[in-house]
Amino acid sequence: MNSILIYINGKNYYCSPCMTISELITYLNFDINLIVVEYNKEIISKNLWPVTGLQEGDKLEILTLVGGG
């Protein structure tokens, strides 16, 4: 099986070389309305998730938004 190594929240993760950020988020069961994604140290807009392909060594931080008062 062909896979690439990326980093999610500082941990190793192997995924398909043709996967996009949007596909990864869906696969990991995150609620897209409650997260922000930092891609290689920059916040990436949600409208770019479906067109941004993951590459070997990419670093993602997936931040969950929490409400409170």
pLDDT above 70: percentage of residues in the chain: 97
CA distance 21 to 47: 11
CATH of 4-64 among 3.40.640.10, 3.10.20.30, 3.40.50.1370, 3.40.50.300: 3.10.20.30
**Residue 5: which pLDDT band, with cuts at 50, 70 and 90?**
very high
Q: What 3 state SS string does the chain have?
A: CCCEEEEECCEEEEECCCCEHHHHHHHCCCCHHHEEEEECCEECCHHHHHHCECCCCCEEEEEECCCCC
pLDDT at res. 1:
58
Answer yes or no: is pLDDT of 32 > 70. Answer: yes
Q: Is the model more confident about 2 or about 11?
A: 11
CA distance 21 to 26: 9
Written as six digits, the tokens of 22 are 């949007």
**Residue 57: which pLDDT band, with cuts at 50, 70 and 90?**
very high
